[in-house]
Amino acid sequence: MAPALLNTTDSNYLLHQLIDDLPIFDKLCHHSMMFIYKCFFHSSSLAKFVSRHGVMFVWHKSLLGSNFFFSVLL
């Protein structure tokens, strides 16, 4: 039963996370999401406003918002 689990996509992703060997595309999405997260909860009210406005209201025109939705929907 265990070898069948190793052939699924989810277990391969988990295996890559465990050995810290994620594909470059996944790493880029992760870094993008961490940057957006840090901007959302930054101490500067300007950084918070710009990031939240870019993601919530003009996501289709904003580079930050489009990166967020692209990373989330994958």
pLDDT tens digits, residue range 1-51? 445 544 555 566 666 666 767 678 878 888 888 998 999 999 999 999 999
- What pLDDT does residue 64 have? 83
Structural domain including 44 reads: 22-73
Number of domains the chain contains: 1
Check: CB of residue 69 under 8 Å from CB of residue 36: no
Q: What's the pLDDT at 45?
A: 95
Residue 43 lies in a domain: yes
3 is a domain residue? no
Does the residue 67 lie in any domain?
Answer: yes
Give the mean model confidence (pLDDT) for residues 42-63: 90
Q: What per-residue string of b and e applies to 30-57 under the rule 16 or more CB within 10 Å gives b?
A: eeeeeebeebeeeeeeeeeeebeebbee
What confidence tier does 65 reach under pLDDT thresholds 50, 70, 90? Answer: confident
pLDDT at 37: 92
Structural domain contains residue 4:
no
The first and second tokens of residue 73, run together, are 């929907």
Exposure of 70 in the CB half-sphere (CA atoms within 13 A): 13
